[in-house]
Amino acid sequence: MKTINVLILFVIMPLSACVSLSPQELRDKTNPLDFTVNQTYQDVFAKVLKQTKQCYLNSPKALSQITVSGDRNNREKTGAIRVTYLYGPTESDTVLLVDVKSLGTDKTQVRAHYSHRWWKSDAQRIRKWVEEGAESCSA
């Protein structure tokens, strides 16, 4: 009986360390890559959404189904783009979240939140997409 209890502990403990985060929890609990560009928030949102879809849908990184979604609020002049892994019908994990916010006519703040350190290079690539017009999907 002790062997089974110990085995269960070794299986459950690593799983509990991998906590799924909602988009708001990701914003609250992570240090984002933060930068500002001299472009409209609509242009930045469109670039990031297009490249994110191109790079992550059908990605070899996907261990399960991956979705890319974007919401833009024209009244607030904000947008959010999410890369989410789906693990069955009820489980999901937002691994990359990009918040876009207008700071004026042609100035936009971009915050790229990432759930794990291995997604940091993906967040840094977003900066190249926006600032340099790069289209590469590799780090």
Cβ-Cβ contacts under 8 Å for 66 (sequence gap 6 or more): 56, 57, 59, 83, 84, 85, 86
What does the pLDDT read at residue 111? 94
Helices (H), the chain: 2-17, 23-29, 41-56, 120-132
Asked whether the beta carbons of 90 and 17 are under 8 A apart, the reply is no
Task: Say how far apart CA 77 and CA 64 lie, in whole Å.
Answer: 33
Residue 90 phi/psi, 5° resolution? -125, -10
DSSP 8-state symbol, 138? -
Q: Hey, what are 75's tokens?
A: 């009244």
List per-residue pLDDT tens for the chain, 139 residues long: 555 444 343 443 334 345 566 777 778 777 789 999 999 999 999 999 999 999 888 666 655 688 899 999 999 999 999 998 887 777 888 888 999 999 999 999 999 998 877 788 888 899 999 999 888 887 5
What does the pLDDT read at residue 1? 54
H helix and E strand count, the chain: 4, 5
Domains of the chain: 17-132 (3.30.310)
Task: Identify residue 29 by its one-letter amino acid code.
Answer: K
Q: Hey, what are 133's tokens?
A: 């017009």
Task: Characterize 96-105 residue by residue with b for buried, 16 or more Cβ atoms within 10 angstroms of its Cβ, and e for exposed.
Answer: bbbbbbbeee
What does the pLDDT read at residue 28? 79
Picking from 9, 36, 22, the residue whose alpha carbon sits closest to that of residue 100 is 36
